[in-house]
Structure 1
Amino acid sequence: MAYVLFSLSLFLIVTATALFLTRAYWRHHVPEIHLPGAGYIYSRLPSSFAGDIEAGLSSSNFDLGGNVEAGDSRAGLDDASKAEVLKIMKKKRMTFDQARKVYMENRFKRNGIGPDGRPRDPKFVSFS
């Protein structure tokens, strides 16, 4: 019995060590694994421009520092958009600017607008 327990614990240690040492490979080469209930983990959204900056929702291209410096008392960015951008940042491991681009492209697609900003409506006519 002791031999079986020793063998099992040795197997578990070796397996855990191998998985730990190859985690970078698995992270980039295996599709994302979705654990049941993992999407329901609660995280509070920031409720001010200062909180948005702390959450990583600002960059040199989309600077919220001016809002904070001016004492803007509004509630910050739109909660639904903020949650979606944070989700993209976390899920796809992107920077704020990359996630914001993906978010806007997805919104464009849902509204029948191409990635170049032109409507996909076949009846659309443009004069330049």
Structure 2
Amino acid sequence: MYLLYGLTFTVLVFGTILYLTRNSWLHLLSDLPGSSLYLRLPGSFSDDIEAGLSSSTFDLGANVDSGDSRAGLDDAAKTEILKIMKKRRIRFDEARRVYTEQRFSANGIGPDGRPRDPKFVSFS
């Protein structure tokens, strides 16, 4: 009987500690394979602006002002950029640069925009 009480007390204490410190370890769960924490994506350009996916160098205000009815930016890119912003704690422009460099690297393109193909020939 005491074993059951001790186990219940231990679980309650451990659960309380995890709950109170969740801000310091919760971001680690998104790195696990197969983990799918819900991330609501903005559905229009005005929602993209509110989510922080706009800056002075990538201004979505003109789209909103002109009444653009499209669904906003690409969902896959938004998801990755928001993850980068949250994980590295950086602003939108820097996260967009990191995302673009990752896409370049995945497609065999160097950070300077030139292909890494050894057969590539360029004339200046």
What TM-score, normalized by structure 2, do the two folds share?
Answer: 0.73
Task: Give a deviation string over 1:4-43, Cα, whole Å, max 9, x none.
Answer: xxxxxxxxxxxx9xxx9xxxxxx8xxxx972489853312
1:72-91 aligned within 5 A: 72-91=68-87
Match of residue 112, structure 2, among 113, 116, 125: 116
Instruction: Quote the residue 1:48 is aligned against.
Output: 44
Q: Distance in 1 between matches of 2:117 and 2:31?
A: 39
Q: CA deviation at 1:84?
A: 0.3
Q: Which residue of 1 aligns with 2:97?
A: 101
**What's the counterpart of residue 64 of structure 1?**
60
Q: In the aligned structure 1, how far is the partner of 2:95 from the partner of 2:116? A: 23
| Alignment partner of 1:92 out of 76, 88, 106 | 88
Residue identity over aligned pairs, in percent, reads 68
Distance (Å, rounded) in 1 between the aligned partners of 2:75 and 2:90: 19
Aligned pairs, how many?
101
What is the DSSP-based 3-state SS (H/G/I as helix, E as strand, rest coil) of the residue aligned with 1:126? Answer: coil
Listed as ranges, the gaps of 5+ residues in structure 2 are 1-16
Task: Give 2:28's aligned residue.
Answer: 34
**Contact kept in structure 1, 2:48 and 2:73, CA below 8 Å:** yes
Alpha-carbon distance in 1 for matches of 2:72, 2:41 = 10
CA RMSD of aligned residues (A): 2.5
